[in-house]
Structure formats: structure tokens, C-alpha cells
Chain A
């Protein structure tokens, strides 16, 4: 059970995990649309504008793609194994599944109170718990799909998350300029 929660990639990777991950992307986008929560970075969320639902989906895809590209480049540079893009794409997509579960968990509270009020702040902090889960999943997705170990894995993982966060933020700003 523990392995399925924190490292499902031992059993599922590639296309199968990509399809499951994309189903969760759609759930995240729908809930995001109704709550106006934007999951627009690998590990970040914020409340924002009410925009068309397809932009919520594009935000999820940008956040996912930014981390996939960075990890794939790092994997090519650092791994001695023959890595596959589909494994990184699939495992990272599945690693973002807790975001959908978090957004579903936050949904009822949005109905009860104003999300911009101070009373709502604790619910944003509740996001910290699934965030730790997501980071563990990202780490295992990267470790399994790129076959990296030790200090090389840890440093490249931290650097990768930071770079991907910046890339996705820049890409989302450009997306808004382009479509809104």
C-alpha cells in the first residue's frame, strides 16, 4: 500500500501512467474552474482570475511539461541508462494526481466561505500536506524513470523543480498575454 501511495512507478509507467495522469489533469481543471484555483506550477497554486476552462487545462499541461522537459534533459546528461521520454512524461503526469484530490478536497470549503477572506487561509495551509506527497512522488518518478542515485539525484532533483517552477510561471504569463 505504501509503495502504491509513494512510488506507484515501480508498477506503472509509460503510456498507462500518462493516460491516468491526464484524467487527473481534467479533474484538476474542472475543479480549478469552479474554485478559481490555478495549479500553474509544478508545486504551486494560487487564486486568480475566472478564465475559460481550457486555460486551466493548459496551465496544468504547462506545469507538467516544464518539469518533464527539465527532468528529461537532466536524465540525458546525468544518467548512464537509456532513458525514455514517455517514462518521464507518464510518471510525472501521475505524480500530479494528488493535486486533483487536493482541489476536490478544497471544493466544499469554497462553497461555504469567501476564498479571499483570512478565514480561508488555513485551507491553503492544508495544501502543504499533499504538497509533501507530490514532492515525494516527483522524486520517485524522476529516480525510477532516469535511474539516478545518490547526490547526483538529489541535487538535480532540487535544481529541476526550481527551474521548472520558473519556466512554468514565465510560460503561463505568456499564455495569458496570448489568449486573454
Chain B
């Protein structure tokens, strides 16, 4: 089962923060108040797309060959992610 990181509060729908981090090795727990990174707000598929894009040296042509989709389709996917990140950032500010 793939666990999906919850991003918004199931009660009030506001953005969730990180309160606690835990080391699996030594079982140390760190408590505090941390923002989730913007990339964490993307879906699993979108995060995979970003990773592949970085691995392709930011080349849309390379990406389209790699995932078997046309250049404009890949560019549109990237633009959708950019829009999502931009709106996330503007919400945070």
C-alpha cells in the first residue's frame, strides 16, 4: 500500500504543518513547527515528473522521448506543475 502524505487538515481543510520528525535508527524525535516543502504539495505523479525532468537536464525533448509523449504534452504537464507551485507559493505569502 502506498501511503499518501496528507497536506490539508481533514477537519478545517487548512494547510498542515510538520510538528514531529522521528529517526527510525536511534528513535530520536524532533518536535517543532516546520513548513512542508512546496514540492511535497504535488501529487506522486507530478513529483515523479519533476524528478525525471531534473534527471533529463531540464530538456523537454529528452523528457518526451523518455516517457513516450509528444513535446507539447510534456510542456503542458510542466506548465500545469509550474502553475500549481506558483499558486501554492502565493497562498503561503
- Spell out A's residues near B (CB within 8 Å): 9-14, 17, 80-84, 87, 91, 144-145, 147
Verify B76–A11 contact, CB threshold 8 A.
no
Verify B79–A147 contact, CB threshold 8 A.
yes
Residues of A within 8 Å of B69, CB to CB, are 10-11
CB of B63 to closest CB in A, whole Å: 14
The listed residue (B68, B70, B73, B75) touching A82 by CB distance below 8 A is B75
Chain B CB within 10 A, most for which of A9, A11, A82, A147: A147
CB of A91 to closest CB in B, whole Å: 8
A81→B70 CA distance, assembly (Å): 15
Can you list 18 contacts pairing A with B, beta carbon distance less than 8 Å? Answer: A9-B73, A10-B69, A10-B73, A11-B68, A11-B73, A12-B70, A13-B70, A13-B73, A14-B72, A17-B70, A81-B76, A82-B75, A87-B71, A87-B72, A91-B72, A144-B73, A144-B76, A147-B75
A80→B83 CA distance, assembly (Å): 10
- Chain B contact-residue range equals under 10
- Spell out B's residues near A (CB within 8 Å): 68-73, 75-76, 79
CB of A17 to closest CB in B, whole Å: 8
Verify A9–B71 contact, CB threshold 8 A.
no
A13→B70 CA distance, assembly (Å): 6
In the complex, residue of chain B having the shortest beta-carbon distance to the beta carbon of A80? B79
Verify A144–B79 contact, CB threshold 8 A.
no
Verify A10–B79 contact, CB threshold 8 A.
no
Verify B79–A81 contact, CB threshold 8 A.
yes
Verify B75–A81 contact, CB threshold 8 A.
yes
CB of A169 to closest CB in B, whole Å: 29
